[in-house]
Homo-oligomer: A and B are copies of this chain.
């Protein structure tokens, strides 16, 4: 990556710029944005656990201690990474709040999924960026204008965010454990095989419902199952919209 692999030479004094020049222009200049860049790239390539202060620092040709001028600790660094990912999200345009919710959460799920297990970081985290507030304002506004009671709307948004994060994180974990470079179908097959092995140890007499419905239980792709759950939540919210709240007052 670096054009000149010049060996480290002792600084001979002068300004910061001069020193960097003399040292052959280090890989990258330190700074919060650059640090988060590197961490996000590591997440995208290998997942959260591949991020270590040492590996990030190495990209700047220095030791881990150098990072502590920009982040208080590793947790804070990872939350900056999450905020970056959240910046990629957007609320679609729609007059129908149900359509808007469906579109948004599917897109949010896709965004998380593009960054491995980054969704895990969203548990119990209040994002720091303004984007989070923009998204909340749009979603909450659309629901309230659609007649959803405020409490129902805000609590439901929390639950949907939790559901999406948990779904993506679990999907990533499954892929890690049951076949890595495999296709969706192959992973499904391997997964079914493991469950079937467990089922094989069971007498059908003791577990009539499980044995009789094995195939249906294991049917469906991850996408289909997610959509099913999301639609159930949206329907649950819709059921709590007061009957005649069509532009009354």
Residues of A within 8 A of B (CB): 123-124, 126, 128, 133, 136-137, 140-141, 144, 150-151, 154-156, 158-159, 162-163, 165-167, 169-171, 173-174, 176-177, 194-195, 198, 202, 206-210, 213, 216-217, 219-220, 225, 228-229, 232-233, 235-237, 239
Per the bound structure, the CA–CA distance linking A216 and B171 in Å amounts to 33
Which one, B159, B217, B239, contacts A235 given CB within 8 A? Answer: B239
Given A126-B198, A140-B210: A150 in contact with B229 (beta carbons within 8 A): no
Write the nearest CB–CB distance from A72 to chain B, whole angstroms: 13
Per the bound structure, the CA–CA distance linking A50 and B219 in Å amounts to 38
Write the nearest CB–CB distance from A134 to chain B, whole angstroms: 8
Write the nearest CB–CB distance from A168 to chain B, whole angstroms: 11
Copies in the complex: 2
CB–CB A123/B225 < 8 A: no
Residues of B close to A194: CB separation below 8 A: 126
CB–CB A228/B155 < 8 A: yes
Residues of B close to A177: CB separation below 8 A: 124
Given A150-B217, A236-B232: A209 in contact with B166 (beta carbons within 8 A): no
Residues of B close to A166: CB separation below 8 A: 123, 162-163, 165-166
Per the bound structure, the CA–CA distance linking A134 and B191 in Å amounts to 20
Residues of B close to A156: CB separation below 8 A: 229, 232
Per the bound structure, the CA–CA distance linking A166 and B144 in Å amounts to 26
Residues of B close to A195: CB separation below 8 A: 126
